[in-house]
């Protein structure tokens, strides 16, 4: 490795301006309006009258260098080498010359890229590492994203639209690296049994006070005889936070792990405040490789929303309007003990009114 | 290169269908790289057994840094030696995720030489993630990337790589320079980014407006959200154009305004701006007719996070309106003070939002020298149990 270049530290990322297409540099902060042209294209118009076209295409996020080189070759051919990624992992080709727009879209189609993700439909799915790269994953993320996006592809491309945008997310455990907690419909990997304790390894690899401190319900206490910890199993709600702190408390259990489905969250402040997603299905199995129960559940929820919501109404706004009791009757999803909160905000969620729907 | 050929009947199912396949991506990389090939093998085993085969991260990294590399080891290294180490390198992405082909191609060349050839564009926090390399390649990767102008992102109990929406680079609603703020904060706090010294992680996300395309309000310990003062700008001719093109302005815009501050009279929109909560609905639906007011700044919010430990939190308002102009000293000072309080009182693995819940808003606001105002809460307290200081009693 003698021929390595000189390393630099604390230089931070390269300055953003050099990556913007010239038209975006020229009109920086001077944009006037934008218009959606199709399910996967839009144009931004500057005060100066200059225009910048964007063509958006799906990416699985977990991509090879060859995939990236495929994108950059297209950007070189049609975009003067300028491209960007969205916060939902799509790629955006930034077209400054309108005559390149159609040829780019034609070539994307010919090469089987999935163009879309703009407007009132389903964009790409924010997700986590899953079994590809994470030690605490209770399910896979990439596989769930793949089967869900295949199922709802028409809502990505713009072939079909919805009353408003519907944002999906997948988190492979309750650590929720993927911000599942504020999505229209989301999947989160869960466990259903307490961790096991490998006392020999606790002694060697874990700090007992921080392991005890990691438990939200106070279920973990010292076990001095074993120089380890013990768990009051009836207090454990299987979050797995102790395993994050102490590797000697494995919680993975293929026969009991699976996913929960949550719905009704949103991020933006449009019309109503940002809201959390709420539990709609407490458990579905990890039926690999295609999770058919999860896909069917998403279809059930989406269909009820599509049939019931007003234009511009997000899924959570529709539910707030009709009521959660109505949501469960419209979707036919069973309501169980697991649905009623018994954690930190439980009392706030109890219905303190006699006015409700049958 | 002689490679073990894995049968992957379960993963092969995930190469069918219209959405681009991550399995195809792994196979593409596997054709050139033993680690990617062994990833394919171990992932098939995960799908077969319905469980993960990764162990906790170990401490690995580059000289002088305490983060930026996530150690990852397989729990079946003998079967899949190519992923015995399979570390992640987080490269600090560009503001707004803008790239040139050349910049990305350079990174691909480096990654093909030293890593698995697999990436995430991008990780959940925003980094350009290089997925899967061995410990002895880390210094070389850092020399190759940093000499070309790239630095590592954050990990562990540190400031995490700040990220932002597309901002003024391509959006008419961006009321703050999200790209520049993100760049400036990242540069200002390099030490806090690379050398973990906090109680826990600290994420900063900057959104140009309340649409919040970067999910700042839900995913950042510090959420900066662009907003305005003054009247919404109305182009009545464009209002009429929307009506002419079939938009039901009464139903889609006026009736959906959450504060009821809009009306439609003779085809023209009127807005009682003093009652507007700046939610962005009307502006987002009538991009050509309505634009934010002209005085721009940010609402500063703190504390959002995922459910561990006390349940998920959204960020809450601490400064309703802060003008943000370079060099952003007002913002940097506020951040430093927040960190000072959190450093002083935060327990190990306690996020700042949890600390505010534990010690109370009063202490936090007093430390930051911020006066309480109604914009900070949805409603005042219901209970009659509150504290008085000696000073307040003697007033």
3-state secondary structure of A358: coil
What average pLDDT does this structure show over A325-343? 97
Give tens-digit pLDDT for A83-93: 999 999 999 99
Instruction: Suggest the residue from B11, B12, B20 to mutate for an interface test with chain A (most A CBs closer than 10 A).
Output: B20
Selected residue of B15, B22, B155, B375 to mutate for chain A interface (largest A Cβ count, 10 A)? B22
pLDDT of residue B3: 79
Reference B223, options B187, B172, B178, B281; nearest CA is B178
Is B96 in contact with A16 (Cβ distance < 8 A)? yes
Under DSSP, is residue A190 helix (H, G, I), strand (E, B) or coil?
strand
CB contact under 8 A, B111 and A65: yes
Are A62 and B25 a contacting pair at CB < 8 A?
yes
**Model confidence pTM above 0.95:** yes
- CA-based nearest residue in chain B for residue A115: B19
Three-state SS for chain B is CCCCCCCCHHHHHHHCCCCCCHHHHHHHHHCCCHHHHHHHHHHHHHHHHCCCCEECCCCCCCCCCCCCEECCEECCCCCCHHHCECEEEEECCCHHHEEEHHHHHHHHHHHHHHCCCEEEECCCCCCEEEEEECHHHHHHHHHHHHCCCCCECCCCCCECCCEECCHHHCCCCCCCCHHHHHHHHHHHCHHHHHCCCCCCCECEEEECCCCCCCCHHHHCCEEEEEEEECCCEECHHHHHHHHHCCCCHHHHHHCCCCCCCEEEECCEEEECHHHCCCCCHHHHHCCCCEECCCEEEEEEEECCECCCCCCCECCEEEEEEECCCCCCHHHHHHHHHHHHHHHHHCCCCCCHHHHHHHHCHHHHHHHHCCCCCHHHCCCCCCCCCCCCCHHHHHC
Q: Does A164 reach chain B within 8 Å, measured CB to CB?
A: no
Query: Which two tokens mark A166?
Result: 């519907």
Band (pLDDT 50/70/90 cuts) for residue A2 is low
What are the residues facing B290 on neighbouring strands? B234
A346 to chain B nearest CA, in Å? Answer: 11
Residue A331: strand, helix, or coil: helix
For residues B262 and B255, give the distance between their C-alpha atoms in angstroms, rounded to a whole number. 8
Q: How many CB atoms lie within 10 A of CB B118?
A: 29
Q: Does B219 touch chain A (CB under 8 A)?
A: yes
Q: Is B172 on the interface with A (CB under 8 A)?
A: yes
Q: With an 8 Å Cβ cutoff, are B53 and A81 in contact?
A: no
Query: What pLDDT is attached to residue A1?
Result: 53
Q: What is the pLDDT of residues A125-178, one digit of tens each?
A: 999 999 999 999 999 999 999 999 999 999 999 999 999 999 999 999 998 886
- In angstroms, the CA B353 to CA B351 distance is 5
Whether the predicted pLDDT of A239 surpasses 60: yes
Q: Is B326 on the interface with A (CB under 8 A)?
A: no
**Cβ separation A20–B169 shorter than 8 A:** yes
* Residues in A touching B256 (Cβ below 8 Å): 271, 312
- Strands A126-127, A168-171: pairing is parallel
3-state secondary structure of A86: coil
Provide the Cα torsion A170, A174, A176, A180; round to 10°. Answer: 50
CA–CA dist B160, B93 (Å, integer)? 12
Determine whether the interchain pair A146/B284 forms a contact, defined as Cβ–Cβ distance below 8 Å: no
CA distances from A2 to A5, B52, B65 (A): 9, 38, 21
Residues 213-232 of A with CB under 8 A from B: 213-214, 216
Q: Does the beta-carbon distance from B120 to A52 stay under 8 Å?
A: no
Residue with tokens 């290169």: B1
Q: Given pLDDT bands bounded at 50, 70 and 90, which one contains residue A237? A: very high
State how far residue B78 is from chain A, nearest Cα, in angstroms.
Answer: 17
Helix (H, G, I), strand (E, B) or coil at A272: coil
Token code pair at residue B325: 């102009």
B205-239 burial code (b ≥16 CB/10 A, e <16): bbbbbbbbbbbbbbbbbbbbbbbbeeebebeeeeb
Q: What does DSSP assign to residue A341? A: -
Instruction: For residue B63, give both structure tokens.
Output: 């000289």
Smallest CA–CA distance from A3 into chain B, residue: B140
- Does B213 contact A at CB distance below 8 Å? yes
Minimal Cα–Cα distance from B79 to chain A, Å? 16
Shortest Cα–Cα distance, B328 to chain A (Å)? 17
Do residues B121 and A41 make contact, with C-beta atoms less than 8 angstroms apart? no
DSSP state of A55: E
B19, B101, B309 ranked by CB distance to A75: nearest: B101
* Chain A CB contacts of B50 below 8 Å: 254, 257, 286, 288
Alpha helical stretches, state H, A182-246: 199-205, 208-213, 241-245
Helix, strand, coil percent values for chain A (each to nearest 5): 35, 20, 45
Alpha-carbon span B10 to B258, nearest angstrom: 48
Partner A contacted by B22 (CB < 8 A): yes
Q: Which two three-digit tokens encode residue B147? A: 């000499």
Nearest CA in chain B to A20: B98
**What backbone phi and psi angles, to 5 degrees, belong to A51?**
-125, 150
**In chain B, which residues have pLDDT < 70?**
1-2
ipTM of this complex prediction, to 2 decimal places: 0.97
Q: Rounded CA gap, A317 and A310, in Å? A: 10
In this prediction, residues A111-122 reach a mean pLDDT of 98
* Spatial separation of the C-alpha atoms in residues A156 and A107, rounded to whole Å: 19
Choose the closest CB to A81 out of B102, B194, B347.
Answer: B102
Beta bridge partners of B121: B128
Alpha-carbon torsion, ordered A92, A94, A99, A105, to 10 deg: -10
Residues on chain B touching A176 (C-beta within 8 angstroms)? 306-307, 312
B47/A181 touch (CB, cutoff 8 Å), yes or no? no
CA-closest candidate to residue B280, choices B236, B223, B225: B225
Instruction: Say what the alpha-carbon torsion angle B272, B275, B281, B286 is, to the nearest 10 degrees.
Output: 10
- Would the CB atoms of B121 and A153 count as touching at under 8 Å? no
Which residue of A145, A177, A289 is in closest CB contact with B13? Answer: A289
Q: Considering only the beta carbons, identify the residue of B51, B120, B214 that sits closest to A62.
A: B120
Task: Categorize the per-residue pLDDT at A117 as very low, low, confident or very high, splitting at 50, 70 and 90.
Answer: very high
DSSP state, A264? -
Pairing type for strands A220-223 and A126-127 reads unpaired
Three-class DSSP category at A288: coil
Q: Which of B96, B256, B306 sits opposite A84 (nearest CB)?
A: B96
Integer CA distances (angstroms), A348 to A215, A340, A351, B320, in order: 23, 11, 8, 26
- Interchain contact, B312 vs A181, CB within 8 Å: yes
B window 255-284, beta carbon within 8 A of A: 256-258, 277-281, 284
- pLDDT-above-70 percentage for chain A: 99
Cα separation, A270 vs B211, whole angstroms: 7
Q: Are strands A220-223 and A228-231 parallel, antiparallel or unpaired?
A: antiparallel
């Amino acid at each position: 490795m003698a021929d390595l270049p000189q390393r630099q530290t604390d230089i931070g990322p390269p300055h953003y301006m050099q990556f913007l297409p010239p038209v975006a540099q020229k009109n920086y902060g001077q944009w006037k309006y934008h218009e959606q042209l199709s399910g996967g294209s839009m144009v931004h118009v500057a005060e100066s009258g200059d225009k910048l076209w964007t063509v958006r295409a799906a990416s699985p996020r977990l991509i090879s260098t060859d995939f990236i080189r495929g994108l950059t070759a297209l950007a070189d051919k049609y975009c003067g080498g300028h491209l960007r990624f969205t916060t939902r992992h799509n790629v955006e080709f930034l077209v400054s010359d309108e005559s390149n727009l159609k040829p780019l879209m034609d070539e994307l189609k010919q090469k089987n890229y999935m163009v879309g993700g703009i407007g009132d439909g389903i964009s790409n799915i924010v997700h986590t590492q899953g079994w590809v790269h994470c030690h605490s994953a209770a399910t896979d993320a990439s596989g769930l994203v793949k089967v869900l996006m295949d199922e709802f592809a028409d809502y990505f491309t713009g072939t079909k639209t919805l009353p408003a945008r519907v944002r999906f997310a997948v988190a492979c455990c309750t650590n929720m690296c993927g911000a599942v907690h504020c999505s229209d419909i989301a999947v989160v990997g869960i466990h259903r049994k307490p961790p096991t304790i490998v006392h020999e390894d606790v002694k060697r690899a874990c700090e007992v006070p921080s392991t005890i401190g990691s438990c939200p319900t106070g279920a973990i206490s010292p076990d001095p005889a074993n120089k380890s910890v013990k768990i009051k199993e009836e207090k454990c709600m299987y979050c797995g936070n102790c395993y994050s702190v102490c590797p000697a408390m494995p919680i993975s259990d293929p026969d009991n792990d699976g996913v929960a489905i949550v719905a009704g969250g949103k991020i933006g402040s449009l019309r109503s405040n940002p809201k959390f997603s709420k539990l709609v299905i407490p458990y579905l199995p990890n039926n690999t490789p295609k999770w058919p129960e999860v896909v069917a559940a998403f279809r059930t929820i989406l269909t009820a929303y599509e049939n019931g919501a007003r234009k511009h109404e997000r899924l959570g706004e529709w539910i707030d309007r009709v009521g959660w009791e109505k949501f469960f009757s419209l979707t036919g999803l069973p309501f169980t003990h697991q649905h009623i909160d018994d954690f930190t905000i439980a009392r706030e969620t109890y219905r303190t009114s006699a006015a409700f729907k049958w | 290169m002689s490679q073990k050929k894995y049968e992957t009947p379960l993963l092969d199912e995930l190469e069918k269908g219209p959405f681009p396949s991550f399995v195809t991506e792994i196979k593409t990389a596997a054709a050139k790289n033993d680690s990617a090939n062994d990833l394919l093998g171990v992932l098939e085993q995960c799908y077969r057994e319905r469980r993960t085969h990764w162990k906790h991260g170990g401490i690995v990294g580059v000289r002088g840094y305490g983060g930026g590399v996530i150690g990852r080891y397989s729990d079946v290294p003998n079967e899949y030696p190519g992923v015995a180490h399979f570390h992640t390198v987080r490269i600090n992405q560009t503001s707004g995720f803008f790239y040139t082909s050349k910049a990305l191609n350079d990174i691909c060349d480096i990654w093909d030489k030293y890593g698995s050839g697999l990436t995430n564009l991008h990780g959940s926090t925003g980094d350009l993630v290089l997925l899967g390399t061995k410990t002895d390649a880390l210094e070389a990767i850092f020399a190759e990337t940093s000499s070309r102008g790239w630095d590592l992102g954050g990990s562990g109990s540190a400031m995490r790589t700040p990220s932002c929406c597309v901002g003024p680079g391509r959006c008419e609603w961006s009321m703050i320079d999200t790209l520049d703020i993100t760049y400036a904060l990242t540069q200002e706090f390099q030490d806090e980014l690379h050398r973990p010294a906090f109680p826990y992680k600290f994420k900063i996300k900057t959104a140009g407006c309340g649409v919040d395309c970067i999910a700042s309000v839900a995913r950042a310990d510090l959420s900066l959200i662009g907003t305005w003062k003054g009247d919404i700008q109305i182009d009545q001719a464009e209002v009429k154009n929307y009506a002419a093109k079939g938009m039901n302005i009464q139903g889609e815009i006026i009736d959906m305004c959450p504060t009821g501050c809009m009306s439609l009279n003779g085809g023209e929109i009127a807005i009682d701006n003093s009652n507007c909560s700046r939610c962005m609905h009307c502006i987002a639906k009538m991009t050509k007719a309505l634009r934010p007011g002209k005085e721009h700044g940010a609402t500063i919010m703190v504390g959002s996070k995922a459910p561990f430990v006390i349940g998920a939190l959204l960020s809450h308002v601490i400064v309703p309106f802060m003008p943000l102009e370079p060099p952003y000293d007002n913002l940097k000072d506020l951040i430093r003070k927040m960190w000072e309080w959190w450093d002083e009182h935060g327990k190990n693995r306690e996020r700042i939002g949890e600390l505010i819940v534990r010690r109370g808003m009063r202490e936090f606001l007093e430390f930051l020298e911020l006066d309480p105002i109604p914009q900070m809460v949805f409603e005042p307290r219901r209970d009659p149990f509150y504290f008085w200081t000696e000073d307040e009693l003697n007033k």
